[in-house]
Chain A
Amino acid sequence: MKVKVLSIPVQDQAKALAFYTEILGFVKKVDVPLSEDSRWLTVVSKEEQDGPEILLEPSPKHFEPAKTYQRSLFEAGIPYTQFNVENMQQEYDRLSALGVVFSIKPTEMGTVKIAVFDDTCGNNIQIVEML
Chain B
Amino acid sequence: MTFYQNEILRIKNMCYANTAQIQKVVATRNYIEKHFDKPLNLDSLSHAGFTSKYHLLRLFKRYYGQTPMQFLIDKRIEKSKFYLKKGITISETCYLVGFESPSSFSTLFKKKTGYMPSNFQKKQFSQSRSIGDF
Q: Which of A2, A50, A104, A131 contacts B8 (CB 8 A)?
A: A104
The docked-state distance in angstroms from the alpha carbon of A111 to that of B5 is 18
Number of A-B pairs, beta carbon distance below 8 Å: 44
Bin the interface of chain B by size. Answer: 10 to 19
Q: Contact check, A77 vs B3: say whether CB atoms are below 8 A apart.
A: yes
Q: For the complex, would chain B's binding face be called helix, strand, loop or mixed by DSSP majority?
A: helix
CB within 8 Å for A111 and B4 given contacts A50-B127, A131-B26, A131-B29: no
Binary contact readout A94-121 vs B (1 if CB under 8 angstroms, 0 otherwise): 0000000001100111110010100000
Bin the interface of chain A by size. Answer: 10 to 19
Binary contact readout A49-88 vs B (1 if CB under 8 angstroms, 0 otherwise): 0100000000000000000000000011111000000000
Q: Which of B5, B26, B63, B64 contacts A104 (CB 8 A)?
A: B5
Interface of A toward B, CB cutoff 8 Å: 2, 50, 75-79, 103-104, 107-111, 114, 116, 124, 130-131
10 cross-chain CB contacts under 8 A = A50-B127, A76-B4, A78-B2, A78-B3, A103-B4, A104-B4, A104-B5, A107-B8, A110-B15, A111-B64
